[in-house]
Amino acid sequence: MKTLTIGDIHGLPDWKKVKPAEFDIIIFLGDYVDSYSIEEEAILDNLEEIVSLKNQFPEKVKLLLGNHENSYLFRQYRTTGYMYSIAEQINTILKNNIRLFQVAWQHQNYLWTHAGIHTEYYNQKIAPRVRATDESLAATLEKLFKEEYPPLFEVGPERGGWDYNSNGGPFWLDSSRLIKNPLKGYHQIVGHTPVNTIEFYRPDENDMSTSVTLCDCITRGDGSFYSLEI
């Protein structure tokens, strides 16, 4: 399986250079909106075109949600950069197409989320909510999102969260915490924390089943996408 991961877009049209026929799966890591440099109409048009791409390739394209999308879906989780002037339009696009978006995508022990899963966070907040019928960790996260489970939206202290005992959930976890103690047994591919280029970490060199790849390098980095063959 040949996958391509596209980091945080924030209104940029860089994804249009991708040729879908060259990949089996294309995963967008979320944060399609909010920018200090791109015009409002361009952001709206870009979001609608990404939705159209998903409709064109429903099985191939995976659209993950980021913290900036949640800012428009849930008023209590508002983030910086919120664009009040087009908030209603963004909310409408997202809600009308919410079935096309997801919290996570998983293949074997490869897990894509916007910001990642920290071991302590998983043990404290996610593990108690896992059901025997959940097919995967990704399925558990989707279930909890539909339930609007508050810990799923927790903000870590590095990102302005008020609770210094919180690591942050899969929409807000800072990479500084993630790479120190990622959930063991998973290869996580995430965005959210800006980097200059794709960065790969294996916290324990003796543990070949656990790694973190950071992919948020489109808006502030070299614009790389992450190609991975599994």
Residue 146 confidence (pLDDT) above 90 = yes
Return the HEC string of the chain.
Answer: CEEEEECCCCCCCHHHHCCHHHCCEEEECCCCCCCCCCCHHHHHHHHHHHHHHHHHCCCCEEEECCHHHHHHHCHHHCCCCCCHHHHHHHHHHHHHCHHHEECCEEECCEEECCCCCEHHHHHHHHHHHCCCCCCCHHHHHHHHHHCCCHHHHCCCHHHCCCCCCCCCCCCCCCHHHHCCCECCCCEEEECCCCCCCCEEECCCCCCCCCEEEECCCCCCCCCCCEEEEC
pLDDT (average), residues 59-84: 95
Residue 161 confidence (pLDDT) above 90 = no
Q: According to the model, what pLDDT value does residue 15 have? A: 97
Q: According to the model, what pLDDT value does residue 164 have? A: 64
Average pLDDT along the chain: 95
What domains, with CATH codes, occur in the chain?
A: 2-229 (3.60.21.10)
Residue 163 confidence (pLDDT) above 80 = no
Report d(CA 92, CA 201) in Å as an integer.
38
pLDDT (average), residues 163-175: 87
Residue 64 confidence (pLDDT) above 70 = yes
Taking only the tens place, the pLDDT of each residue in 17-35 is 999 999 999 999 999 999 9
Q: How confident is the model at residue 167 (pLDDT cuts 50, 70, 90)?
A: confident
- For residues 25 and 47, the answer to whether their CB atoms sit within 8 Å is no
Q: According to the model, what pLDDT value does residue 75 have? A: 86
For residue 154 the two structure tokens come to 């927790």
Residue 224 confidence (pLDDT) above 80 = yes
Q: How confident is the model at residue 157 (pLDDT cuts 50, 70, 90)?
A: confident
Residue 70 confidence (pLDDT) above 70 = yes
Q: How confident is the model at residue 112 (pLDDT cuts 50, 70, 90)?
A: very high
Relative to beta strand 61-64, strand 110-112 is unpaired
Residue 124 confidence (pLDDT) above 90 = yes
Strand ranges of the sheet holding 101-102, from the earlier edge strand across to the other edge: 101-102, 61-64, 25-28, 2-6, 226-229
